[in-house]
Structure 1
């Protein structure tokens, strides 16, 4: 007598980025073991969940989270236990955090190893990016050690002088190393000289409070930095990924580079698709302190058009869990405020609402930017699709669920949401992480610290392996 599988999700519509099918999904040992046509009988299992009338999609991959992040004198208020639970509440089953040196004494390798230790408390799977601020002769060895740990990407900032900024020499040299190590270069692109001068000009005029944030960091600063970084990437041959792009001009520069044959990728965030710079004239402008800032309504509309057209590859949260007491310490001067927004839990409904409910896009496209592309571009193995042999990270998704956001009722460890009061469509009905049901109609079932550290593969290694085993639309970037 054969052993029963752990779980069957019956009669759902399985939606991958490359298509959909009505199927029973069989789960055993934390993996998807079979997809059976829904016209066939439901196989026996230890647990059967009826997903009739609902969608079954791959669990989300959030490629841009900051957990327990120390920046200057501020530390985000979360830890991996809190953020991973919030991720699962929002249908995200894997988060990718950053090991960013907190000061000059912490090396890039130490920063990653520290985060890896902290991640032992995670309830969902965790991968990591490294970060380099200043080049020295030990950096190549450290990057080799990171690659051996399964950390195959490095983030650098082109702004924030005196803290996290990397100069041009450092960026170029790190890019060369990432090519050698088959890795991916992440870039926060804002032109530091322009931002510094613009901020100083506003400060001299007494216009430096939070209500002026969007004026101190102009769109030009982002676009010039993207253009300069693409030139370095072209020169070195490095694949490059731009985080939190907030302007259509920045996205267009990446598109043009891709048309010339460069490996370049655009990420945006839910807040840049749904909020505009009028929020800085609202009653609580401190709710929206982030860099880059919100842009004009015209820019937001054009950015959504780029997403709809497929020019934006991923939507990540850029989750940073400060609370309002931290935000309100220095609302008088944006130079001393902590910047960053909580968003790992709301990424699913905000993205779905912007792209599908309001934008008329397909659920397949939503799955692409929410799960498939983040897994593919970041070389996260066995994730981002519902196919045999992949991890059983699954969401039974109900596009008809509509909720008004209540920041105090969310689970991110803070007391606000930038989407407070907004009506959002598309929330998870059931969340399954590594084959275990963690959210269903009975509420959240804390699995304990079972999240695994995910060692990522080489950038081209992963792409080539996918091309041999999966549909073309999943294995090849758009």
Structure 2
């Protein structure tokens, strides 16, 4: 007898849709039977009744219990991983970012591994390098041995997390040697610093002027510069939270030239424009890059629907309104980042389907953005596909179901959401993570600290189907 059967499912993978019964045993998909076959006996049978079933979400960009300068997010792994499951995400990827000059990249990653022991869902990690010294290559070797084969660097945030161009170039060379992935926060620091100083001198430095301190040009110039370095070295590069169609186009053009380059965006850049900085609660939207004008948002959404964007991530950062408002009169001092791991699924699905019919092709595109592409790009074994041998990470949902967001009723450990009051469609109804039903019509079923740390292989090698058994998070 199997552990679980999801019967009569509309099974949506990135490369096709079919109807069938999904049979689950020991945390993995045992087999998929044609929908015309009898429903097999199992400990539990969930009748999907023709609803869509997609692979469990992979959020490739989360910040959990993150310390940056004087700011610390309010969450921990227990909270954020549970919120991820509430939102249909069954694997989160966090960053080991050194909290200050005294913490090395290796120490930062080891710290996150310890914190991740409390995770309710599976976890994978990215490393981070801020400054170069002679110990960095050996640290990157150790990170790769731990299954951490990607390194993030910031092109801005002078004095805290920013890496200079020499560091970026040297780390890129090391990541090529290690067959890994370079991840970039692309904003041109000199332009941002100068623009911010001009706004400050004009007395326009509060949160209502955030979008004026970080122009689109700063993002696109930084993307252009980093692409040139990656092309010079011949190494893959992945750009987080792209907020402009111009930035996405630059990456697409580089791919056309043969460079392995990827674009990630976030739901808030697809649904929210910079008019919110004149709203009653502008602090809800303090993030970097900032929201863009309505025309830019519409053009980015076109790229998103059209296939130019590779992945959609939350860039989850759990601050509350008290933290946001302490320095809302000076964007240079306030913490930037938005909670979003729980709302990534419906907000991204809403952005993808706005004004469009929900066809099989649209559902397949969503499965790719939400799960398959981030699993593939990050070489996560066992993730991103509904197929025998893959992890039983599954989400049942009705693409037509709509709910209005209540920021206070979410589960992310904060008191607001940038989508508060908005009606979003495509919420998860049943979530299965590692074969365990964690969300159904009876609510949330906390599985406890069962999340595993997923170790990744070389960037150029296909990820193994089976996940790494026995690897506790």
Question: So what's the TM-score if we normalise by structure 2?
Answer: 0.97
Residue number in structure 2 paired with 1:122: 119
Contact 1:357–1:425, Cα closer than 8 Å, also in 2 = no
Instruction: State the secondary structure of the residue aligned to 2:80.
Output: helix
What is the distance in 2 between the residues matched to 1:353 and 1:340?
A: 21
Contact 1:122–1:449, Cα closer than 8 Å, also in 2 = yes
Shift of 1:444: 0.4
Residue number in structure 2 paired with 1:151: 148
What is the distance in 1 between the residues matched to 2:20 and 2:354?
A: 24
What is the distance in 1 between the residues matched to 2:234 and 2:462?
A: 18
Residue number in structure 2 paired with 1:224: 221
Shift of 1:182: 0.7
Could you tell me which of 72, 86, 92 is aligned with 1:89? Answer: 86
Could you tell me which of 279, 282, 287 is aligned with 2:279? Answer: 282
What is the distance in 2 between the residues matched to 1:113 and 1:358?
A: 45
1:334 aligns with 2:331: yes
Post-superposition CA distance 1:291-327 (Å, at most 9, x none): 0000000000000010111000000000000000000
Could you tell me which of 345, 361, 385 is aligned with 2:342? Answer: 345
What is the distance in 1 between the residues matched to 2:73 and 2:82?
A: 16
Residue number in structure 1 paired with 2:470: none
Residue number in structure 1 paired with 2:129: 132
Could you tell me which of 239, 244, 249 is aligned with 1:242? Answer: 239
Instruction: State the secondary structure of the residue aligned to 1:230.
Output: helix
Instruction: State the secondary structure of the residue aligned to 2:429.
Output: strand
Q: Which runs of 5+ in 1 are unaligned?
A: 470-478
What is the distance in 2 between the residues matched to 1:360 and 1:108?
A: 46
Shift of 1:457: 1.4
Instruction: State the secondary structure of the residue aligned to 1:104.
Output: coil
1:37-436, aligned counterparts within 5 Å? 37-360=34-357, 362-436=362-436
Shift of 1:462: 2.3
Residues 240 and 360 from structure 1, CA distance in 2 versus in 1: closer, same or farther, beyond 3 angstroms?
Answer: farther
Count of residue pairs the alignment pairs up: 463
What is the distance in 1 between the residues matched to 2:330 and 2:199?
A: 10
Post-superposition CA distance 1:252-283 (Å, at most 9, x none): 00000000000000000000000000000000
Shift of 1:398: 1.5
Shift of 1:359: 4.3
Contact 1:101–1:107, Cα closer than 8 Å, also in 2 = yes
Contact 1:308–1:359, Cα closer than 8 Å, also in 2 = no
Contact 1:156–1:186, Cα closer than 8 Å, also in 2 = yes
Post-superposition CA distance 1:325-345 (Å, at most 9, x none): 000001110000000000000
Instruction: State the secondary structure of the residue aligned to 1:12.
Output: strand
Contact 1:356–1:366, Cα closer than 8 Å, also in 2 = no
RMSD, aligned α-carbons: 1.0
Shift of 1:461: 1.1
Residue number in structure 1 paired with 2:469: none
Contact 1:289–1:339, Cα closer than 8 Å, also in 2 = yes
Residues 360 and 217 from structure 1, CA distance in 2 versus in 1: closer, same or farther, beyond 3 angstroms?
Answer: farther
Q: Which runs of 5+ in 2 are unaligned?
A: 467-473
Question: So what's the TM-score if we normalise by structure 1?
Answer: 0.96
Post-superposition CA distance 1:169-214 (Å, at most 9, x none): 0000000000110100000000000000000010011000000000
What is the distance in 1 between the residues matched to 2:207 and 2:353?
A: 32
What is the distance in 2 between the residues matched to 1:399 and 1:184?
A: 34
Instruction: State the secondary structure of the residue aligned to 1:265.
Output: strand
Residue number in structure 2 paired with 1:475: none
What is the distance in 2 between the residues matched to 1:438 and 1:317?
A: 21
Shift of 1:238: 1.0
What is the distance in 2 between the residues matched to 1:334 and 1:360?
A: 40
Contact 1:391–1:435, Cα closer than 8 Å, also in 2 = yes
Contact 1:158–1:225, Cα closer than 8 Å, also in 2 = yes
Shift of 1:358: 3.5
What is the distance in 1 between the residues matched to 2:218 and 2:122?
A: 35
Contact 1:12–1:50, Cα closer than 8 Å, also in 2 = yes
Shift of 1:360: 4.3
